[in-house]
């Protein structure tokens, strides 16, 4: 050192943020030799490549770089003297002031360096009480984290040797260490996900799902290029619409291949399918999809029965889900292979909304699905390009809808029941699309309660202990076989109007045993001479015989008791009669209005009943002689006289008398 200088109270380090053009940087502290100054750009040591001016001066100096450090880089200039003594004073030798001052200057500079390093260290406050901050030995602290006990002493808090609790949920809760707490769930960001909408985060998601059962998706937009698959018991959740999974490929975004999984509080964008439930190694059962929004998929949610009946798609729950702008179906239940149909799945508060997108499918499409798939408080609002709002396919059976709202901007069918669909139940349907409220191709294989238009209710077999009807209507079928012949209706209607204008018609009722409790009216409506004969399949017919409707407007109403068909009403009621051909004295039964009597074997006396008999009052009785013999038939009354207080003798064949009893 060539001259004396002071060592001011200046920190032995200074830092700058490079601007990309500056090459010279000042340091305000003194150095004795150029080697005492360390020059860092970022973490790189460039001390050997710079020019240093101001060595040996109290005010410091400057550093000149051959080229400007890149903008944003941190430039650090720090005194880094070696902690050593370079001067030795000999006994009895001359004590030079410059050597003595330099030795003391070095000591002060070293103390300043130590002070700076201590200022950057973790340490107890000056006012703090004494505490043990000594680290445990190497073996004890391996794999652990550091914490503090109740006295503030340093202690391990993670790993097998952890002793200090980290977390207590609430009073009475169990004390848990950091390591165990952090293992409760992992974030996709623990596996390198960025969530900036640009970086491909697929590898991070795949790694997270491969390594953890419960995976959290923090706020961000995560770009995906491959399908994510959840297996048995896994969970994936986020921060609602703030956690976006964006699929850029024409692939399913999420596939649930096992059971007991949970996906919730996420926004799923793009892909051929938003969420597909299809079994692989295990059955696809008891999965939960909740609080999701799905945007711009071909199909929003797909339930596929798959290829194996032993691994079905049953008992899954979908709630509080929005499917927006699907190009195909919002929700689709089907079976792609030899597996069972998706059954007993539950949907609640589902909304499918096309938002003017050209949706060509249906909001809800149960193509294949049996046994109690239910939809409660659901809404479908589609563009007029849609196939239908709700569609029940030929292999759907027992599908339940409660509080369904459907709407389109055009004439799209609200609910379409395809031929083969069965046992659909609709309760409280608000149909706001211009198409049919219920477009039924199933042949009436559904029930409706406060649903449909103009008919609001359609019930299957129903038993009512008491029924008050203000206005009663009947469903009518018109039958007119072109060449006459036999018709065998399925009794889907209650009234049949039959025309025999093409020839005689035989109307065959089903066997009484197959129609217990059914009442049917059959009426001939044409003026031809050909008759309509009402008969029974394999039985004797109404009241044991065919009911023949010979004239226009004749009708008969029949009722099955499960054993026989009975006539309960007719436009030409049958008249019951008796034939007597072997009795000398005939006592007339007032319940039979016609009595045909033969006197071929000898004269016959016919006794009318007592006119005061309650069974006789109001009756019209006819007695007719049917044989050509000369034997007479005398009409009288036992213990009295006959009609008009006189006995009436019928002497010739076909002679008759009709008598009315007034009591």
Q: What is the mean pLDDT of the chain?
A: 91
User: Does residue 439 sit in the same domain as residue 486?
Assistant: no
pLDDT given for residue 474 in this prediction: 85
Mean pLDDT within 645-650:
92
| 3-class DSSP state of 468 | coil
Task: Render pLDDT for 276-325 as a digit per residue (tens, 0 to 9).
Answer: 999 999 999 999 999 999 999 999 999 999 999 999 999 999 999 999 99
Q: Is the pLDDT of residue 2 over 60?
A: no
Query: Which CATH number does the domain housing residue 360 bear?
Result: 2.160.20.10
User: Does residue 328 sit in the same domain as residue 426?
Assistant: yes
Q: Which of 547, 570, 593 is the last residue of a domain?
A: 570
The DSSP symbol for 590 reads T
User: Does residue 547 sit in the same domain as residue 428?
Assistant: no
User: Does residue 443 sit in the same domain as residue 496?
Assistant: no
Q: How far is residue 372's CA from residue 425's CA, in Å, rounded to a whole number?
A: 10
What is the number of domains present in the chain? 4
User: Does residue 337 sit in the same domain as residue 373?
Assistant: yes
Pairing of strands 37-41, 44-45: antiparallel
Task: Render pLDDT for 21-42 as a digit per residue (tens, 0 to 9).
Answer: 999 999 999 999 999 999 999 9
User: Does residue 563 sit in the same domain as residue 585?
Assistant: no
User: Does residue 415 sit in the same domain as residue 270?
Assistant: yes
Q: Which of 119, 145, 180 is the last residue of a domain?
A: 119
pLDDT given for residue 132 in this prediction: 81
Kindly indicate the confidence band of residue 579, based on its pLDDT and cuts at 50, 70 and 90.
Answer: very high
Task: Render pLDDT for 157-198 as a digit per residue (tens, 0 to 9).
Answer: 655 444 445 555 556 666 666 666 767 779 999 999 999 999
Burial class (CB in 10 A: 0-12, 13-18, 19+), 316: buried
Q: Is the pLDDT of residue 438 over 60?
A: yes
Q: Which helix (H) or strand (E) covers residue 566, if one does?
A: strand 565-570
pLDDT given for residue 113 in this prediction: 87
Q: Are 412 and 437 in contact (CB under 8 A)?
A: no
Query: Which CATH number does the domain housing residue 512 bear?
Result: 2.60.120
Quick check: is 468 in a domain?
Answer: no
Kindly indicate the confidence band of residue 591, based on its pLDDT and cuts at 50, 70 and 90.
Answer: confident
Domain span at 435: 235-449
Quick check: is 135 in a domain?
Answer: no
Structure tokens at 277: 């439930």
User: Does residue 497 sit in the same domain as residue 445?
Assistant: no
User: Does residue 370 sit in the same domain as residue 283?
Assistant: yes
pLDDT given for residue 479 in this prediction: 95
Q: Which of 119, 148, 178 is the last residue of a domain?
A: 119
User: Does residue 433 sit in the same domain as residue 480?
Assistant: no
pLDDT given for residue 156 in this prediction: 74
Q: DSSP for 60-119, please give it.
A: -EEEE-SSPPPTTPEEEEEE---S-----PPTTS---HHHHHHHHHHHHHHHHHHHHHHH
The model's pTM is 0.63
Task: Render pLDDT for 492-526 as a digit per residue (tens, 0 to 9).
Answer: 899 999 999 999 999 999 999 999 999 999 999 99
Structure tokens at 104: 């003391």
Closest CA relative to residue 115, chosen from 30, 6, 10: 10
Q: Are 586 and 597 in contact (CB under 8 A)?
A: yes
Q: Are 565 and 537 in contact (CB under 8 A)?
A: no
Task: Render pLDDT for 389-433 as a digit per residue (tens, 0 to 9).
Answer: 999 999 999 999 999 999 998 899 999 999 999 999 999 999 999
Quick check: is 146 in a domain?
Answer: no
pLDDT given for residue 6 in this prediction: 86
Q: How much of the chain, in percent, has pLDDT values that exceed 90?
A: 71
User: Does residue 566 sit in the same domain as residue 581?
Assistant: no
Q: How far is residue 407's CA from residue 330's CA, in Å, rounded to a whole number?
A: 14
User: Does residue 405 sit in the same domain as residue 342?
Assistant: yes
Q: Give the chain's radius of gyration (CA, Å).
A: 51
Quick check: is 276 in a domain?
Answer: yes
Q: DSSP for 123-155, please give it.
A: ---TTSPP---PPPPHHHHTT--EEE-TTS-EE
Quick check: is 389 in a domain?
Answer: yes
Kindly indicate the confidence band of residue 638, based on its pLDDT and cuts at 50, 70 and 90.
Answer: confident
Pairing of strands 555-560, 565-570: antiparallel
Task: Render pLDDT for 35-83 as a digit per residue (tens, 0 to 9).
Answer: 999 999 999 999 999 999 999 999 999 999 999 999 999 999 999 998 8
Kindly indicate the confidence band of residue 469, based on its pLDDT and cuts at 50, 70 and 90.
Answer: confident
Provide the 10 A C-beta neighbour count for residue 633: 26
Task: Render pLDDT for 219-270 as a digit per residue (tens, 0 to 9).
Answer: 999 999 999 999 999 999 999 999 999 999 999 999 999 999 999 999 999 9
pLDDT given for residue 548 in this prediction: 92
């Amino acid at each position: 050192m060539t001259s004396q200088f002071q060592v001011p109270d200046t920190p032995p380090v200074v830092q700058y943020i490079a601007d990309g053009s500056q090459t010279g940087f000042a340091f305000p502290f003194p150095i004795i030799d150029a080697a005492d100054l360390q020059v860092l750009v970022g973490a790189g040591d460039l001390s050997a490549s710079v020019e240093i001016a101001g060595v040996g001066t109290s005010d410091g100096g400057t550093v000149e770089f051959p080229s400007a450090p890149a903008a944003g880089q941190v430039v650090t200039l720090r005194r880094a003297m070696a902690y050593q003594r370079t001067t030795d004073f000999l006994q009895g030798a001359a004590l030079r002031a410059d050597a003595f001052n330099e030795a003391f200057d070095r000591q002060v500079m070293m103390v300043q360096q130590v002070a700076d390093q201590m200022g950057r260290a973790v340490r107890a406050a000056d006012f703090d009480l004494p505490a043990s901050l000594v680290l445990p030995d190497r073996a004890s602290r391996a794999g652990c984290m550091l914490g503090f006990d109740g006295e503030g002493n340093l202690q391990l808090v993670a790993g097998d040797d952890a002793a200090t609790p980290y977390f207590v949920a609430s009073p009475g809760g169990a004390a848990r260490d950091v390591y165990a707490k952090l293992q409760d769930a992992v974030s996709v960001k623990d596996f390198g996900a960025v969530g900036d909408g640009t970086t491909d985060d697929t590898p991070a998601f795949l790694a997270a799902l491969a390594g953890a059962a419960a995976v959290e998706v923090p706020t961000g937009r995560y770009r995906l290029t491959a399908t994510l698959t959840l297996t048995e018991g896994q969970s994936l959740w986020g921060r609602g619409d703030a956690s976006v999974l964006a699929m850029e490929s024409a692939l399913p975004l999420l596939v649930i291949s096992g059971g007991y999984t949970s996906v919730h509080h996420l926004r799923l964008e793009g892909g051929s399918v938003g969420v597909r439930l299809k079994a692989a190694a295990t059955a696809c059962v008891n999965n939960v999809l909740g609080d999701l929004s799905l945007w711009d998929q071909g199909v929003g949610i797909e339930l596929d029965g798959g290829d194996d009946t032993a691994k079905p798609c049953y008992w899954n729950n979908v709630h509080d889900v929005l499917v927006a702008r699907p190009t195909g179906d919002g929700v689709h239940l089907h079976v792609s292979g030899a597996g069972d149909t998706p059954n007993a799945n539950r949907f609640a508060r589902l909304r499918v909304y096309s938002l003017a997108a050209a949706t060509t499918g249906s909001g809800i499409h149960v193509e294949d699905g049996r046994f109690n798939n239910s939809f409660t408080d659901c809404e479908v609002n589609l563009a007029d390009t849609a196939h239908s709002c709700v569609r029940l396919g030929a292999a759907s059976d027992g599908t339940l809808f409660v509080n369904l709202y459907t709407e389109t901007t055009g004439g799209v069918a609200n609910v379409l029941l395809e031929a083969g669909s069965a046992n659909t139940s609709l309760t409280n349907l608000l149909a706001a699309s211009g198409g049919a409220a219920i477009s039924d191709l199933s042949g009436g294989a559904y029930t409706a309660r406060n649903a449909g238009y103009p008919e609001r209710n359609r019930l299957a077999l129903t038993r009512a202990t008491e029924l008050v009807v203000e206005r009663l209507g009947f469903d009518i079928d018109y039958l007119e076989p072109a060449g006459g012949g036999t018709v065998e209706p399925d009794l889907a209607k209650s009234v049949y109007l039959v025309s025999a204008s093409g020839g005689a018609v035989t109307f065959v009722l089903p066997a009484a045993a197959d129609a217990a409790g059914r009442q049917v009216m059959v009426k001939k409506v044409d003026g031809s001479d050909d008759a309509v004969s009402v008969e029974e399949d394999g039985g004797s017919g109404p009241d044991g015989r065919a009911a023949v409707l010979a004239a226009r407007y004749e009708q008969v109403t029949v009722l099955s008791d499960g054993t026989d068909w009975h006539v309960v009403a007719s436009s030409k009621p049958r008249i019951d009669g008796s034939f007597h051909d072997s009795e000398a004295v005939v006592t007339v039964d007032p319940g039979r209005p016609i009595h045909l009597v033969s006197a071929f074997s000898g004269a016959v006396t016919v006794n009318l009943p007592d006119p005061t008999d309650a069974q006789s009052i109001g009756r019209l009785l006819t007695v007719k002689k049917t044989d050509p013999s000369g034997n007479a038939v005398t009409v009288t009354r036992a213990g009295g006289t006959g009609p008009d207080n006189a006995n009436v003798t019928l002497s010739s064949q076909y002679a008759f008398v009709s008598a009315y009893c007034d009591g």
